[in-house]
Chain A
Amino acid sequence: MVHLQINRLSKAFGGLSAVLDFNFQLDKNELLGLIGPNGAGKTTVFNLITGVYKPDAGEIRFNGQNIAGLPAYRICQQGIARTFQNIRLFKDISVLDNVRIALHQNVPYSLLSAVARTPVFFKGEAKIEAQARKILKIFNLDDKRREIASNLPYGEQRRLEIARALATKPSLLILDEPAAGMNPNETRELMELIQWLRLQFDLSILLIEHDMSLVMGVCERIYVLDYGQVIAEGRPEEIRNNPRVIEAYLGEEVG
């Protein structure tokens, strides 16, 4: 079943085409990788899917519905959540609050009952906290829930970002370089976690990653992007031997 389909998506910044006629398909429960040299337009594609940028042309069909141009919060509510290449946590507040904010879209009480502190409010808050802690436990962060987010070590900040994204109850999780800055051990653990999350939460996952061994190891299918266009698509072993991909990464052979 097709989960996310992108047709002829384009976005230009001034005279520069960041993404041009981008076509793409992601099936339900697939774990898909998007790779490409620096500046190829990978993050722009993510920003277009999640509504940070409005596309110039093309359509983005999520569960059959065109979501291109919707405001970002609506796209999130439809079930697409993401993390960021440069971590964007809510820095000055607690780990627990970071996750609780992501749970806000289903807040079970009204503003008035919050002001009046009705029993509905206390019940709702208890429910939100229980949900948030359940997610934090998965990521081994429950013990640190009172810490200010920016005080966490780097690897834990990365994990918290995924936890926060998961709290919005997505069906498609988009990870922008989730292993950036992690050591090989942490990376391996993270990849196992991602695989496990996919099964546990019935997720489709789309990820950008620079660590080739990792992408090749974990992704079922890979799209290669260069200068805003797809230059190759296929299973990891096909990609590894594709001359266009090698050219894009290493440059043209001399002679």
Chain B
Amino acid sequence: MRKASIKPLQFIFEAAVLACLFTLVQYAINSNIINQYYQINLASICINIILAVSLNLINGFTGQLSLGHAGFMAVGAYAAAVMTTSLNQPFVFGIMAACLAAALAGLIIGVPTLRLKGDYLAIATLGFGEIIRVVLQNIDYIGGPAGIQGIPVYTNWPWLFGSSVLTIVVIVNIINSSYGRAIISVREDEVASELMGINTTRYKVLAFVIGALLAGLAGALYAHYFYIIKPDNFNFLKSFDILVMVVLGGLGSTTGAVIAAIFITVLTAVLQSFPAIRMILYALILVIVMIYRPQGLMGNKEWGRKTWGRIWGGKNGPSANK
């Protein structure tokens, strides 16, 4: 951050770009240029962006390998669905309940597991993710294995767009602050970080809770778009999908997480037409990318204001990045 100050013009410009994007897509939806089929994919893209960007905070920036992200998404989806379906509350309360419940689950799981490192942490989070799913399966109030049906479809383009943008802004703002640097120092060298006065446990838990909270948001949007949720939607494979996006995009790059979320979602949709060889192609593409780009599509680089500044030939863009 060369000069840490607000540049009003730049801010207005960025807001205008986002508003244009939003209006254009909204117009395309209204006039059916983006039809039902594309809309479903659009919703998946937005939800996956939120999931990938939030998991990247834990795996990419904090360096803690978590394999239970779908568990937090499940907590959010169920909390929101119960609020709107069983309790007839408005969607906003559903989303708030989802975020709170998922953050709480993140805290409860994070405090004991984040004492572990590397493989052990991965296995512990994997186990907790599955525990969440099994617990949901065995509560009759929320439908057991059959899940909840008939959830009102509240999730629309404004919600999807707003939530994705909010998620990205929150993560980027945290990372480009002293708190974000503390989080990154845990990834770089935990011992050195601790010896520089940073309570590493606290920052690991913080990143975990924020990541879980945003996964809960994604879960709420998911439940109110696809109107049926069951515990099996949130199994280990879902966590794995999100992890693939994060690794493919580049651990520690928010830009990479967004690009990979879009790429994987589109790829999955396109491959749906070739059901026989779908999984082979999917795996093949991943293997090829990892051979030629082991650090992920973006490495740990970002496309930010600095990049745009360079493209325009100006030097005055304040770097939002390292």
Chain A residues proximal to chain B, CB less than 8 Å: 50-52, 71-73, 76-77, 81-82, 84, 88-94, 97, 100-105, 107, 109, 111, 114-117, 121-122, 124-126, 128-129, 164-165, 167-168
**In the complex, A168 Cα to B198 Cα: how many Å?**
10
- The dominant DSSP class at the A interface is helix
- In the complex, B181 has a CB within 8 A of chain A: yes
Q: Which residues of A contact B177 (CB under 8 A)?
A: 109, 111, 114, 121, 125
Contact B200 A128 (CB under 8 A): no
Answer yes or no: B191 CB below 8 A from chain A CBs. Answer: yes
Within 8 A of A (CB), among B196-239: 196-200, 206
**Given the known A-B contacts A88-B189, A129-B1, A129-B4, are A71 and B178 also in contact in the complex, defined by CB atoms under 8 Å?**
no
- Tell me if A122 and B6 are in contact (CB < 8 A): yes
Residue of B nearest to A108 (CB): B178
A97, B181: Cβ atoms closer than 8 Å? yes
Q: Tell me what chain B mostly uses at the interface: helix, strand, loop, or mixed.
A: helix
Residues of chain A with a CB closer than 8 A to B170's CB? 115
Cross-interface CB contact of B195 among A50, A94, A107, A111, cutoff 8 Å:
A50
Q: Do the beta carbons of B195 and A101 come within 8 Å of each other?
A: no
Contact of B178 among A91, A114, A165 (CB under 8 A): A114
Please give the distance in Å from B2's CB to the nearest CB on chain A: 9
Q: Are B194 and A101 in contact (CB under 8 A)?
A: no
B169 smallest CB distance to A (angstroms): 8
Instruction: Establish whether residues A90 and B173, one from each chain, have CB atoms under 8 Å apart when the complex forms.
Output: no
- Residues in B whose Cβ lies below 8 Å from that of A164: 196
Q: Which residue of B lies closest to A84 (CB)?
A: B192
Which of A50, A73, A116, A126 is within 8 Å of B198, CB to CB? A73
CB-CB under 8 A from B174, the residues of chain A are 111, 114-115
Per the 8 Å Cβ criterion, residues 41-75 of B in contact with A are none
* Cβ contact within 8 Å between B1 and A52: no
B199 nearest CB neighbor, chain A only? A73
Name the residue on B nearest A106 (C-beta). Answer: B197
